[in-house]
Amino acid sequence: MEHEVLRKLRSATVKAGHDALVAFSQDNVTYTAGFLVPSHASNRFRRTITVLAGEQFATQIVVNVEENLAKQRSRFADIRHYNQFTQEAVDLLADALLEAGVGAGQIAIELDYMPAQDYIRLRERLPRATFVPCRELYFNTRMIKTDEEIAVLKEVGELTDRVIGEVLREVRPGMTEKSVAQIIGNKMLEGGCDGLKCQVGSGVRSGITNCTPTDKAFEKGDIVRVEILGDMKYYRSNVTRTAVLGSPTDEQRGIWDVMIGARETCKSMLKPGTAVADLYRAYVKYLRDRGIEPTLKFLGHGIGQTIHEEPYITDTRTVVLEPNITCTMEPLYMIPGRMGFHVEDMYRIIPTGFEAMTGAITPNDELIRIG
């Protein structure tokens, strides 16, 4: 039998009235194939495409140098390859769609990712087909995780929760942001991650939303903000902690209490039936009632194949929570030029409410005191 993910995608395609489903992006192709073609990530000219049509047709198109690996690792049995210098991947796609008998059909395709040039070419090759976006179809399918996906998310989440605590305990004045990032990198890879990113900001740099680590040394009194984005078996973790080197000031303690208060209020709403827009509004209200204007226009985001996916927890989204949605919540408040506060954990919605996927090992209910 076909893999559960392929069955879910085929079923959503049929339900939406489409004749075929075509993915181009790294996240949607990897989700579909269960395997990341290495050069899909590193070389934008090496297109990788998956095609599902009807009840049977399934093919993956890869650059010739990746053919052997794809045959070993992909969920797709039918792997087709092109020469990057003499062929266009989109021509193999047109051929596949014709072979699948959907040359005049409705093709759900990643219009928000496929290059304009490929779109122009595909319309020339299949003048009778109609092309419609598949962004929502993929988002909605990916949003509800399978048991297999949840197991990986838990594994990478727990590792991240453990590492962030271990590393913060090692921080001393004089160490640099980069050296801390390096320790994090080692521990995450030793723990089984395939890759990671991390942000480390100290002192005024903690007030930069995406604070790439620099050679800045930690100093007594610095707020230290550490965010880890792990990558294991194509799934991600995202955990952020805020610490202080020494004792927090009254101002810092006051702000932190508001962050945590907001998080707890939102946790109480984290269950099937809650609209993400309401969750976001409750967060904003809690902060504003206490004189704090939230820095970001969202409270959190889905997490799975990518760091940011649906449901974004914001008032521009209509998603209502349901079981096996996985997401983060990340109260965040940046005071540019001074300091920043940020706590982020991963949650899974279950029938009775939520299960925290991180936070048990390294809680951050108070500012973590280090150094």
42 binds a second copy (CB under 8 A): yes
133 binds a second copy (CB under 8 A): yes
Give whichever of 53 and 114 is closer to a second copy, judged by the CB atom: 114
Minimal distance, residue 363 CB to a second copy, in Å: 26
Minimal distance, residue 30 CB to a second copy, in Å: 13
Q: Which stretch binds a second copy (CB under 8 A): 167-175, 202-210, 244-252, 284-292?
A: 202-210
Largest CA distance in the chain: 69
Give whichever of 12 and 181 is closer to a second copy, judged by the CB atom: 181
Give whichever of 180 and 244 is closer to a second copy, judged by the CB atom: 180
Exactly one of 13, 39, 50, 240 binds a second copy (CB under 8 A); that residue is: 39
Minimal distance, residue 290 CB to a second copy, in Å: 22
38 binds a second copy (CB under 8 A): yes
Exactly one of 234, 312, 341, 347 binds a second copy (CB under 8 A); that residue is: 312
C-alpha dist (Å) from residue 319 to 143, 161, 267, 311: 10, 27, 17, 6
Burial of 350: CB neighbours in 10 Å, binned 0-12, 13-18, 19+: middle
Q: How many residues bind a second copy (CB under 8 A)?
A: 52
Please tell me the distance from the alpha carbon of residue 20 to that of residue 3, in angstroms, as a whole number.
18
80-109: contacts with a second copy (CB under 8 A): 83-86
234 Ramachandran zone, left/alpha/beta (phi>0; psi -120 to 50): left
Q: Which stretch binds a second copy (CB under 8 A): 10-18, 25-33, 142-150, 361-369?
A: 25-33
270-299: contacts with a second copy (CB under 8 A): 296-298
| Pair 224, 243: CB distance under 8 Å | yes
139 binds a second copy (CB under 8 A): no
336 binds a second copy (CB under 8 A): yes
Tokens 């890759």 correspond to what residue? Answer: 195
Token pair recorded at residue 205 = 């740099």
Give whichever of 14 and 189 is closer to a second copy, judged by the CB atom: 189
247-266: contacts with a second copy (CB under 8 A): none
> Phi, psi (5° rounding) for residue 198?
-145, 150
Burial letters 145-181, b for 16+ CB under 10 A, else e: beeebbebbbbbbbbbbbbbbebbeebeeebbbebbb
Burial letters 7-36, b for 16+ CB under 10 A, else e: ebbbebbeeeebbbbbbbbbbbbbbbbbbb
Burial of 221: CB neighbours in 10 Å, binned 0-12, 13-18, 19+: middle
Please tell me the distance from the alpha carbon of residue 173 to that of residue 36, in angstroms, as a whole number.
40
Minimal distance, residue 284 CB to a second copy, in Å: 14
Minimal distance, residue 79 CB to a second copy, in Å: 14
Tokens 């409705």 correspond to what residue? Answer: 106
119 binds a second copy (CB under 8 A): yes
Coil vs helix vs strand at 55: coil
Please tell me the distance from the alpha carbon of residue 340 to that of residue 334, in angstroms, as a whole number.
4
240 binds a second copy (CB under 8 A): no
34 binds a second copy (CB under 8 A): no
User: Of 88, 73, 65, 5, which is closest to residue 36 (Cα–Cα)?
Assistant: 73
List residues near a second copy by CB under 8 A. 25-27, 38-39, 42-45, 64-66, 68-69, 83-86, 111-120, 133, 178, 182, 185-186, 189-190, 197, 208-210, 212, 229, 296-298, 306-308, 312, 314, 316-317, 336
